[in-house]
Amino acid sequence: MMKFLVLFFMVTTLLAGCSSANAEPGFMPIDEAYELIASGADVIILDVRSEEEFLTGHIENAILLPVNEITARAEDVLLNKDAVILVICRSGNRSQTAALELANLGFTNVYDIGGIMSWPGNITE
């Protein structure tokens, strides 16, 4: 029951946390992002590292979109501007930059989850 309440709170927070009028991305602690992904929630994991970094290991089902390509390619890669997007990089700097760029492009449910160096789950190659 407690696990259900925690999941309900997280999903409710995600859905209420950002609106189209809010150009600021949210921040989600990486352990909460892990739990959300593990629950099977419908989220997009956006890895904004370089292709070389991505190929050394990434979260399963993550989409690669390097931070320097966000402005040019985000609307082609991320088709639903209202989707929950969890942005990750190596240490947390690029994910913060990318999340802000996405919010400025009109994406409404963007969350910076920090760096893959802190990821508590499995990494796939």
Residue 124 in any domain: the answer is no
What digits encode the pLDDT tens for the residues 91-125? Answer: 999 999 999 999 999 999 999 999 999 999 999 98
> Which active-site residues does the annotation give?
89
| Kind and range of the H or E run holding 113 | strand 109-115
- For residue 123, being part of any structural domain is answered with no
Q: What is the pLDDT of residue 30?
A: 96
Spatial CB neighbours of 12, under 8 Å, sequence gap ≥ 6: none
The residue written with tokens 């989707």 in the block is 83
Q: Please report, for the domain that includes residue 43, its CATH number.
A: 3.40.250.10
The DSSP annotation for 45-90 comes to: EEE-S-HHHHHH-B-TTPEE--GGGHHHHHHHH---TTSEEEEEES
Q: Which residues contact 1 (CB under 8 A, 6 or more apart)?
A: none
Q: Is residue 125 part of a domain?
A: no
CB within 8 Å of 66: residues ≥ 6 apart: 48, 49, 50, 51
Please count the structural domains in the chain.
1
Q: What domain range includes position 64?
A: 2-118
pLDDT (tens digit per residue) in 5-63:
344 444 444 444 444 445 689 999 999 999 999 999 999 999 999 999 999 999 999 99
Q: Which residues pair with 80 in a beta bridge?
A: none
User: How far is 2 from 5, CA to CA, in rounded Å?
Assistant: 5
